[in-house]
Amino acid sequence: MNHARANHLMEAYDGELYVFGGSIKHPSGGPSFVSTIEMYDIISEQWTIIKGPSLSVTNSFSVIKDKNILIFGGQKPPDETTIFIRSNKTIEAFDINEQKVVPYLKELANVALDHVSGMFILPQVQ
């Protein structure tokens, strides 16, 4: 990996590992967000930094749907605010084909947020 990090997001898809965001310890002692997206090719054993818009996020989780890595929850700088689903039920995603961060525009009709626990409730996959 080109940039060491903790609290990052990682997904595997079709022989590649995608690593998003995370944090490092800043020299002043506090956390510093990592904004790069990196891809590891399992066959060539090479890391590549994905060019284009970055994604600074920590402590999030993801699922893969429609060749998109959907990114839920976590914190974003500079104020480390928690991110949830937008009011129109779209979220941030990494488009695997286009190799860039995009808004996921398909409605996630059955996704809800439990405001007490802060957990997402996903529909059961049939």
Average pLDDT in the 110-119 region? 50
Residue 1 lies in a domain: no
| Domain interval for residue 71 | 9-121
We report the CATH number of the domain holding residue 18 as 2.120.10.80
**Residue 116: its pLDDT value, please?**
44
**Between residues 118 and 67, the one the model is more confident about:** 67
User: How does residue 125 score in pLDDT terms, banded at 50, 70 and 90?
Assistant: low
Q: At CB < 8 A and 24+ separation, what contacts does 117-125 make? A: 118/73, 118/82, 120/72, 120/73, 120/85, 122/63
**13-42 confidence digits (pLDDT tens):** 999 999 988 888 877 777 788 888 999 999
**Residue 91: its pLDDT value, please?**
73
Q: Does 87 score more than 50 pLDDT?
A: no
